[in-house]
Amino acid sequence: MTQQPPSNESPKEPPQKEDAPSHERPLERYRPYGLRVTDLRDQTWCEKQLEFTLEFGRKQTKAMKEGEQRHQELHEEITEIIKVKPRSREDLWGLHLYNSLAALLQLQRDGICRELPVFGPIGDTWLVGIIDELVMTEQNTISLTDTKTRKSPRLPTEAQKRTTRFQMMLYKGLFD
């Protein structure tokens, strides 16, 4: 059983500070609770993308909504989801911890889990992310999988494959 905040309150997005003093670094201003793995991934695609996303936000496209819906469907195939409204940052981090523990117990019991929250330091930077799927293999190793939805039937480009490999390396570092 996984507990989630209502869809309009994602645990991945802490509230952004509006009028932060100019002496704050962008990460302190926009990501005070940790840089997202996808922030770093997106930056490898386009160096200015992270800066623009932090400053102006990101418009959710139809393809992004469809991708989120597909992730939700996959998650619901193996997990009962209960909506929870955290009242504080502490509640939100408690929810992260609970969901991590529940997913790891499911991995141990069923050999598969989805949407595993991970967080921790990579070098000097605190990162947060959600691993799409973990599967226990026959060799008793854990395989991390990332589900990418596509708006076209073409295979991803080499640049897209490279950014996904980078994202998966960060997830592995946080998981280990």
Condensed to tens digits (0 to 9), the pLDDT of residues 96-145 reads 999 999 999 999 999 999 999 999 998 888 899 999 999 999 999 999 99
Residue 29 lies in a domain: no
Residue 24 lies in a domain: no
Give how many domains the chain has, as a whole number.
1
Least confident residue range of 10-19, 31-40, 84-93, 115-124 = 10-19
Paired with 112 in beta bridges are 135
Residue 122 lies in a domain: yes
Residue 26 lies in a domain: no
Residue 18 lies in a domain: no
**Intra-chain end-to-end CA distance of the chain, in Å:** 23
Residue 16 lies in a domain: no
- Name the residue range of residue 151's domain: 2-9+34-175
Q: How far is CA 16 from CA 27, 90, 119, 151, in A?
A: 11, 16, 19, 30
- Spatial contact of 97 and 76, defined as CB atoms under 8 Å apart: no
Residue 64 lies in a domain: yes
Residue 98 lies in a domain: yes
- Spatial contact of 165 and 148, defined as CB atoms under 8 Å apart: no
pLDDT at 53 over 90: no
Could you tell me the pTM of the whole model? 0.77
